[in-house]
Structures are given as C-alpha cells and as structure tokens.
C-alpha cells in the first residue's frame, strides 16, 4: 500500500492527472503577497515539496535565491528544467524530512525564508511536528516561515490529502517553537478554496 510518505504515491497522482494542487500557474495569493509590506524583499528561500515549481520560480523571478526540494520524478524533472534556465534557482531531489543544514547534499545551509503552500497539509498528519522541526533546523535565527495554509478549517484532519489543519491545532504545535508574527487573510483564493486559506508568518522562538 502506497502512502504519502513515498514518492511513488505523488508520482501516481501526477501521472493520473490527480494533481489537485497544480493550477498550472503561480498561486495568485502568493503574487499578491509579494506586494504586501510584510513580504521580505531579500533573502534566500527554501521550498520543501515544491511540486512542479511554479511558486518557487515566482520567488526566483522576484530576485531571491531559491532551493526547491521534492522527491518524486515528475516534480524533480520540472524543477531541474527551471534550474537550467534561471540562475536564481536550484533544485534538489530529496525527501524533505532528510534536509540538513550541515550536509551539502541535503540542503547544506540555513535560509532566510521558508515558503510552503500545500505540502504541510499533504504530508501525513502524524508527521506535522517533524515538519516544523525540519523547518526550524533549516532557518536562520531571524528567518521567516511563510505558510500559505489550505485547508484551514475544523474539518477532519484524517481525510486527505489535503488534510485540514485548524488554528487551534497549529497553535498547540507551534507553542514554544515558533511565534506567530502575523496572520494574513487571502482575498484571491483559487476557486473552491475561498475562506479556507490564510498566510501564517512565523519566527523562531529563541
Ligand atoms: C500537494 S503537492 C504541493 C506542491 C507545491 N507546494 C504546490 O503548491 O504546487 C505536494 C508536493 O510535495 C511533495 N512531497 C510530499 N512529501 C514529500 C517529502 N517527504 N519530501 C519531498 N517532497 C515531498 C510531493 O511530491 C508533491 O510534489
């Protein structure tokens, strides 16, 4: 039985055109966030579970150095292709839970920004604390973790992916590890996602 812990699970969704997250264009809410005063103007960006890289490429086009990580062949091929034509963009074929700031083959540095849309709610909910631990480890002390959360609701967490997450659950997980700097509502969600998305901007609790 394939689970979402394995690249083959994701590869079969891509191959069977069940890649529900792939709208074929950069996320409109991200493009709008780029104009928000809280969006960092500079800094290197890590994108774990970058998919086919449309949002990651948007960060690179904005001038940031980007490392886009994914572990399934369709994504990795797409990320490699972008990296060949965009000097700000590097791709890494890796299980995001293996990222390490100390190992050059596994990231090898810390970042100013981590951005995620859809991977936190794509991984198995039992691995959510581990996800935050990896992010923490890969962030500089003053770095920003930017989560575009979907679906943010009180629906059952176990159905999915995408698996819902709620403000209460997140606050419990983040307590003592990350501080919530800001929550920013999303006005231009993709169809069907209205009212279930929010940006959460997090900094390390030091
Ligand atoms: C729901 S998609 C979101 C993709 C992207 N963030 C976007 O918005 O288009 C989840 C992606 O995360 C990748 N992924 C899931 N678990 C992963 C893991 N443990 N390590 C690396 N990539 C992972 C999948 O291969 C898939 O491309």
Q: Ligand 1: which of 5, 27, 71 to mutate, most ligand atoms within 8 Å of CB?
A: 71
Q: How far apart are CA 206 and CA 198, in angstroms?
A: 25
- Convert the pLDDT of each residue in 23-75 to its tens digit: 999 999 999 999 999 999 999 999 999 999 999 999 999 999 999 999 999 99
92 forms beta bridges with 69
Q: What is the pLDDT of residue 65?
A: 98
- The answer to the question of residue 1 being in a domain is no
Give the side-chain half-sphere CA count within 13 A for 166. Answer: 9
Pocket test for ligand 1, best of 82, 122, 165, 199 (most atoms within 8 A of CB): 122
Residue 33 lies in a domain: yes
Domain that holds residue 188: 7-14+27-204
For the stretch 113-122, pLDDT in tens is 999 999 999 9
Say which CATH number the domain at 174 has.
3.40.50.150
Looking at residue 159, its pLDDT comes to 86
Nearest to 114 by CA among 148, 68, 146: 146
Q: Report if residue 19 sits inside a domain.
A: no
Amino acid 60: pLDDT: 98
The tens digit of pLDDT for each residue in 75-123 reads: 999 999 999 999 999 999 999 999 999 999 999 999 999 999 999 999 9
Q: Is the pTM of this model over 0.85?
A: yes
Measured distance CA(139)–CA(83) in Å, rounded? 22
Residue 155, pLDDT score: 87
Cα-to-chain-centroid distance, residue 186: 16
In a domain, 182, yes or no: yes
Structural domain total, the chain? 1
Q: Which residues line ligand 1 (CB under 6 A)?
A: 10, 21-22, 49-51, 55, 69-72, 75, 95-97, 117-119, 122-123
Say if 70 falls within a structural domain.
yes
User: What would the two tokens of residue 39 be?
Assistant: 């969006």
């Amino acid at each position: 039985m394939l689970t979402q812990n394995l690249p083959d699970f994701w590869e079969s969704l891509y191959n069977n055109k069940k890649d529900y997250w792939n709208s074929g264009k950069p996320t409109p809410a991200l493009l709008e966030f780029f104009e928000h005063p809280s969006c960092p103007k500079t800094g290197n960006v890590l994108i774990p579970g970058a998919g086919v890289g449309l949002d990651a490429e948007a960060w690179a086009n904005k001038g940031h150095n980007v490392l886009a990580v994914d572990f399934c062949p369709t994504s990795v091929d797409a990320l490699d292709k972008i990296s060949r034509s965009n000097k700000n963009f590097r791709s890494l074929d890796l299980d995001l839970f293996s990222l390490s700031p100390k190992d050059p083959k596994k990231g090898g540095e810390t970042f100013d920004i981590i951005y995620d849309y859809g991977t936190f709610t794509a991984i198995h909910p039992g691995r959510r604390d581990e996800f935050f631990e990896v992010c923490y480890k890969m962030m500089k002390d003053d770095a920003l973790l930017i989560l575009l959360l979907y679906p943010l609701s009180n629906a059952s967490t176990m159905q999915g992916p995408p698996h819902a997450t709620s403000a209460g659950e997140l606050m419990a997980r983040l307590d003592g590890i990350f501080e919530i700097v800001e929550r920013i509502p999303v006005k231009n969600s993709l169809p069907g996602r209205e009212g279930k998305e929010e940006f959460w901007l997090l900094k390390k609790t030091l």
